[in-house]
Amino acid sequence: MLRGPRLNYVFRLCLDLALLAATFWGAEQWLLTSSAQLDVSVCSWMIALSGLIWYLCARAFHFYTSITLFTYSQELTIFIRLLLTHLLVQVFLLVLILDDFTIYRGLILLYNALLLVLIPLHKYLYRVIAAYVRNQYKYVRKILVVGSSDLSPTLYRSGILINNLRYQLVGFVGEPPANGLASNYLGTVQQMQDILLAHEIDEVFLALPSHQTEEINVVIDCCEQAQVQVNVINDFNRLGSGALKLTSYAGLPVVGLRYFPLDDTENRIFKRGFDIIFSLGVLLFVLSWLAPLLALLIKLSSRGPVFFRQDRWGINNKKIICYKFRTMVHNGQQGEEPFRQAARQDDRVTPLGRLLRKTSLDELPQFFNVLRGDMSVVGPRPHPIPLSLESKDVVQHYMMRHLVKPGITGWAQVNGSRGEIQSPLQMSRRVAFDLWYIENWSFWLDCQIIFQTIVNLIKGDERAY
């Protein structure tokens, strides 16, 4: 009997196969009204062939992995790769099998073009319905972390607390926080039994150092008595959360604790090429007509320059000039005034500027920064220099975010870590996302972040102000 993840896998696969069949039939009926050359019997086995190819490619790309492990943008990224592979394999086989493939060429192109639209729409609706059902039945895993409240940024960095995983952090157990500010600190290991009784806990993540044998045994004993699942995280990657790289020096194996994909020259060249092509596309098809219109509106709505320029840190702490459309009254942006972050309901923001900020249109001039080589399309957002100076000695690993070029959008932003920074903990969370991106960069991750940025722009972001 199918249960749990396996049932979910089969159900989602069957839904997609049904959608594929319906889409193919619809494309076939559309073309039959204008062309009598299509053989209906051939089209029937082509539907079955398409379903088989889709299934095999989906397994290869792990497309039906639980949706709680992927964001919508991640799912779209995998879908694009899957659809392209599905199309190529389908065309290759049909060219070999059919005597005259040109008769069915239009059908195949229309079919896959419809899938490009319908599958993402179907996946989004499925997520909305699944989220509603999950919320109705309160299907959220409540977790307790035994370690230190200082682990919070690393938890976000690991992805455990991203909403898509449906984990809710109840609190931390361990030594009291040094600054005494952790609102989710619940008590010491010796109070573990009482904490489990007082809170509804589904899983415990044990992140104590291996030498604390007595405390580890206490936690495991308490969890076994309370019938709570325990997950052991060995020292919580204290030596570095990135991928390890094995090299050899003078015949001796040496393990590097941190390896960044963008350290490779080929990856940097590939990323730079994508930045140039994407930025040129935005400049030609968007900014070529939108920039003059926005410039005129900015001039008409308030006095001051069209563009706002600000010094920020780029790669390796090199100072760059970051360009944006001006969104504040000119007097509020004079260089001699003390630095002040933009806040919600900021009185310096003009009415037009509020709209530009809400839609992130004020960031469009930064594509010129990308073409100059100062920035990338995707990367850690560049902070104003005063904010960087304030954070570098307070937030651990802060300066490591400058190992790559800053970006117009980034992994932190699409995961909700944007807007005004009100505490070191908020900055630590943002830095954790940035470091995860640096350690796990790939071309498809960049595509995913771009997709998610577009989705967030359409949905609206309450932290965009």
How confident is the model at residue 152, as a pLDDT?
54
* In contact, 75 and 447? CB cutoff 8 Å: no
For residue 407 the two structure tokens come to 């970006």
Q: What pLDDT digit, counting tens, does each position of 104-142 carry?
A: 888 899 999 999 999 999 998 888 887 777 666 656 678
Quick check: 252 pLDDT over 70?
Answer: no
Mean of pLDDT values over 306-325: 90
Q: Which residues contact 394 (CB under 8 A, 6 or more apart)?
A: 424, 427
How confident is the model at residue 334, as a pLDDT?
44
* In contact, 236 and 207? CB cutoff 8 Å: yes
Q: What pLDDT digit, counting tens, does each position of 386-427 carry?
A: 888 888 888 888 888 888 999 999 998 888 887 777 788 888
Mean of pLDDT values over 21-29: 91
Concatenating the DSSP letter of every residue in 145-192 gives: EEE-GGGHHHHHHHTTTSGGG-EEEEEEEESPPTTS--TTEEE-GGGH
Q: Measured between alpha carbons, how far is residue 325 from residues 303, 330, 348, 365 in Å?
A: 13, 12, 14, 7
Quick check: 236 pLDDT over 50?
Answer: no
Quick check: 336 pLDDT over 50?
Answer: no
The residue that leads in pLDDT, 331 or 221, is: 221
How confident is the model at residue 335, as a pLDDT?
44
pLDDT band at 463 (very low <50, low <70, confident <90, very high): low
* In contact, 108 and 38? CB cutoff 8 Å: no
DSSP label at 248?
A: E
Q: How far is residue 77's CA from residue 120's CA, in Å, rounded to a whole number?
A: 10
Return the closest-CA partner of residue 90 out of 131, 124, 119, 57: 57
Quick check: 465 pLDDT over 60?
Answer: no
DSSP label at 415?
A: T
Mean pLDDT of the chain: 81
pLDDT band at 366 (very low <50, low <70, confident <90, very high): very high
Own/partner pairs for 193-201, CB < 8 Å, 24+ apart? 193/222, 193/225, 193/226, 195/144, 195/171, 196/144, 196/222, 196/223, 196/226, 196/228, 197/226, 199/142, 199/144, 199/170, 199/171, 200/142, 200/170, 201/142, 201/143, 201/144, 201/170, 201/226, 201/228
* In contact, 413 and 382? CB cutoff 8 Å: no
Return the closest-CA partner of residue 174 out of 191, 194, 153, 188: 188
How confident is the model at residue 293, as a pLDDT?
93
Q: How far is residue 455's CA from residue 460's CA, in Å, rounded to a whole number?
A: 8
SS3 labels along 356-387: HHHHCHHHCCHHHHHHHCCCEEECCCCCEHHH
DSSP helix/strand/coil, 349? strand
* In contact, 28 and 107? CB cutoff 8 Å: yes
DSSP label at 208?
A: -
* In contact, 197 and 183? CB cutoff 8 Å: no
Q: Which residues contact 100 (CB under 8 A, 6 or more apart)?
A: none
Quick check: 151 pLDDT over 80?
Answer: no
* In contact, 366 and 434? CB cutoff 8 Å: no
Q: What pLDDT digit, counting tens, does each position of 68-107 carry?
A: 666 777 788 889 889 999 999 999 888 888 888 888 888 8
DSSP label at 389?
A: H
How confident is the model at residue 22, as a pLDDT?
94
For residue 291 the two structure tokens come to 């920039």
DSSP helix/strand/coil, 310? strand
Return the closest-CA partner of residue 256 out of 237, 265, 243: 243
How confident is the model at residue 406, as a pLDDT?
93
Mean of pLDDT values over 269-289: 90
Quick check: 434 pLDDT over 80?
Answer: yes
Structural domains of the chain, with CATH = 4-136 (no CATH), 141-237 (3.40.50.1380), 263-459 (no CATH)
Return the closest-CA partner of residue 5 out of 74, 65, 73, 71: 65
Give the range among 171-185, 286-300, 366-380 with minimum mean pLDDT.
171-185
Quick check: 58 pLDDT over 70?
Answer: yes
pLDDT band at 444 (very low <50, low <70, confident <90, very high): confident
Q: How far is residue 355's CA from residue 177's CA, in Å, rounded to a whole number?
A: 41
How confident is the model at residue 333, as a pLDDT?
46
Give the range among 211-220, 258-267, 385-394, 438-447 with minimum mean pLDDT.
258-267
How confident is the model at residue 367, as a pLDDT?
94
